[in-house]
Amino acid sequence: MRKVTMRSLTFVIGTGRSGSTVLSRILNAHPDVLSLNEFMASVGDAAFPDGELSGEEFWQALFRPAPHFERMIRSGLPLPEFLYTRRPGRYAAETTGIPALSLMVLPHLTDDPDGLLDELGAAVVRWPERGAAEHHRALFGLLCARFGRTAVVERSGYSTGWAPGLRGAFPDARFVHMFRDGPDCALSMSRHPGYRTISLLREIKAQARVDSLGDLTPELVRALPADLAPLLDERFDPALVRDRDIPLRTFGALWSELVTEGTRFLGELPAEQRSTLSYENLLDRTDEELTRLADFIGVAPLPEWLLAASELLDHSRRGSARRLPAAAFDELSESCAPGTRVLQGWPGR
């Protein structure tokens, strides 16, 4: 393993369903970029507890399966982002549980995620007590050395809510706000099992009048409608998510909320630590936008990388919302209007 130093740390935040998954693939193709695909979505706040923790405690936060994803897999509703379930190894949701790092992060980096998990675990458990941010920097550095990369880019969907905490943990980190045309993005959300589940869990919180699912008491759960309460069980009927009639405007409002949240966060950062990336601009001006992104994260826009990136992009889904009936498109556009106005007024767009 050659000596490599992590030179930059960048987080790509956004709504998800905005071309961000292909961006992770594009970044992973760059020889100097360590692409951490869905790292925050995998480990979440559990990997950032207050105070100091030992290497063993930190490793458990990375290893422990994510309960909400485990429930979806056991219920026959795996997300397309779950890479490990496509080529399963020694772990399974029905028996051992799938380690948080293994579900989407490690299979993005290697064809042997179980082997890499063992390798990382053997090192991390020996680390001394320190804060979560220091542990994460050490983990990112270990992975940079392992793969010979120098710039770390973490990208998770539905990630704007994590941005303030990440800024607090990594004050020198850079942030890219990635977004897509509102109606197209919201329509994609409406067809995705993860975002349909998010919508229903938000409905549960609204009906129970709680800020967090962790605040639900048994009494509040019993008071929920019969088509919502089972979603909190260890296993549920996937038809409750797939077949429920959820208005498109629900996803338009969610898109508006998330792009407003992301734009507001970006506006609080120093100019040198913030950037934006429009999916439509990425499609239209691939070389220009990726060259700008490469410069921002601190790597060279290699010609062979730009060529490979162009071949990864799919133009066929652009304008998908305009194929809706006119009334449905108009209603969806109206629900996206607040977010659209925010983006149009952002000087960095």
* Contact between residue 220 and residue 211 where contact means Cβ atoms under 8 Å apart: no
Taking only the tens place, the pLDDT of each residue in 191-208 is 999 999 999 999 999 999
* Contact between residue 108 and residue 37 where contact means Cβ atoms under 8 Å apart: yes
Taking only the tens place, the pLDDT of each residue in 148-198 is 999 999 999 999 999 999 999 999 999 999 999 999 999 999 999 999 999
Query: Residue range 211-224: average pLDDT?
Result: 93
Task: Give whole-number Cα distances, 238 to 6, 39, 157, 216, 231, in Å.
Answer: 42, 25, 22, 22, 9
pLDDT surpassing 80 at residue 1? no
Q: Which of 170, 107, 171, 101 is nearest to 136 (CA)?
A: 170
Taking only the tens place, the pLDDT of each residue in 288-335 is 999 999 999 999 999 999 999 999 999 888 999 999 999 999 999 999
Taking only the tens place, the pLDDT of each residue in 91-147 is 999 999 999 999 999 999 999 999 999 999 999 999 999 999 999 999 999 999 999
* Contact between residue 247 and residue 328 where contact means Cβ atoms under 8 Å apart: no
pLDDT surpassing 90 at residue 278? yes
Greater model confidence, 318 or 4 = 318
pLDDT surpassing 70 at residue 236? yes
Q: Is the backbone of residue 314 left (phi > 0), alpha (psi -120 to 50) or beta?
A: beta
Q: Which of 98, 126, 96, 102 is nearest to 115 (CA)?
A: 102
